[in-house]
Structure formats: C-alpha cells, structure tokens
Amino acid sequence: MHSIRKFTERARRWWVDRLDPNLEDFKAAYIQIDQVSGYLKSPMQERWFFNAARNAPEGAVIVEIGSFLGRSTVSFALGCKGTSKHVYAIDLFEGDGDMYGQGDFQQQFRGNVRRCGVESYVTDIRSHSLTVAQSWTRPIDILFIDGSHEYEDVKADFHAFYPHVKRNGIIAFHDIKGKWDGVIRYWNEVQRSGYLSRFGTVSSLGFGYKI
C-alpha cells in the first residue's frame, strides 16, 4: 500500500515538473538561493515563491513580513528578474532569538540580495510590520507572512495588510505545520473565515486567494 502511494506521488511530481514552464529557470536560480541560510522546506517552498513571482502580473507588488537573511526574499526576487515586479522585505533585522540568535542582520541580508544580483528588485524596510502597515499605500499582489509566529501577531499582520491586498491576490503563511501553534491556530481559523478561498499547501507553507 505504502509503495503504491509512493509511486503515485512520484508520478504526480513527474507530471508537475513536465508541465512547469519555469522549471529550468528555477533550477538555475536555486543554485543562488541555496547559498542563503533560512528556514524554508527546500526546494519546494523556494520553487513556490519563484513561480508565484513569475506568474504574478507585470508591475506586481510582493510584500514579505519576516525576511531574516533573505532566503524567501531572493526566491521571490529571482522570479521577478527581467520584469517590473518588486519585493518589499519587512524585518526588524535583529535576529530570530532562536537558532541564529540576536544581532544586526541587515548587512548580511543586503549582502545575500546583492550576491544573487537582485538588488534592483528588492527594497528592505527595517521596521515593525504593524508600523509599516499604518502608512502602506501600494496595492499588493502577493503577501507572505513569516514574522512573529505568535497567534495574536500572525492575526494582526494578516488584518493590517489584508485591506491592501488586491482581489484574487495571494496571501501565504509560513509554518502552518510542526511546532508553531500560533500560526497553525490562525491558519485553521482563516480557512473558515471567508477572507480567502482556493487554499493550497506546500509542505509547511499555506496560501489562499483574497475573495
């Protein structure tokens, strides 16, 4: 039974790969992405970011809350290359207080973005997400929430930026599985909320489209 499921999953992936027009470009981009440390479940999640940016309309605005050293940022930004799409990376850049400790991470972030050759596609905003939301004006095509993983903070980030996301725009959450109870609780809530539809997951990444 187990081997049939494994075979079916491999066959499904084979078809997904054959039908993905961005696959070869992603493989080339991944060589750069993989030089940046971070927390993603690789390489599926990086591929989702890359494709989401690729498939977004010309001029798309991508907002990321929680960039850390830039692994998700450069995954989006490499998918923006050659277009007028742009990534706004919001972070306090003070470290994660977890695996990588505290410190000033902005220069490392910028170095990583520069090494990947995507400076012109990325604007970093060193501030608290809710402060940024107060003066935000650009309509958003893709919002990625990966800042504080506390329930109240995830919910606050969602509601602060939700009004700025375009209809049919994507809102994605990282860490909807595993030990992240706050994110899991809000992700379960948001699926019943009527704010989003057409939900999908890629490992611990969950996303939906604004109604």
Ligand X SMILES: C[S@@+](CC[C@H](N)C(=O)[O-])C[C@H]1O[C@@H](n2cnc3c(N)ncnc32)[C@H](O)[C@@H]1O
Interaction site with ligand X (CB under 6 A): 38-40, 65-68, 71-72, 90-92, 94, 96, 128-129, 146-148
Smaller CB separation from ligand X, 17 or 119:
119
Nearer to ligand X, 129 or 204 (CB): 129
Nearer to ligand X, 96 or 189 (CB): 96
Give least dist CB 210 to ligand X, A. 21
* Least distance from ligand X to the Cβ atom of residue 64, Å: 7
Least distance to ligand X from the beta carbon of 77, Å?
12
Residue 120: how many CA atoms within 13 Å on its side-chain side? Answer: 5
Per-residue tokens: 27: 């493989």
Closest of 142, 79, 63, 67 to residue 112, by C-alpha: 67
Least gap, CB of 70 to ligand X (angstroms): 7
**Strand runs (DSSP E) across the chain, as ranges?**
61-65, 86-91, 122-126, 140-145, 165-174, 196-202, 205-210
Closer residue to ligand X in complex, CB, 66/206: 66
Q: Which residue is nearest to ligand X (CB)?
A: 38
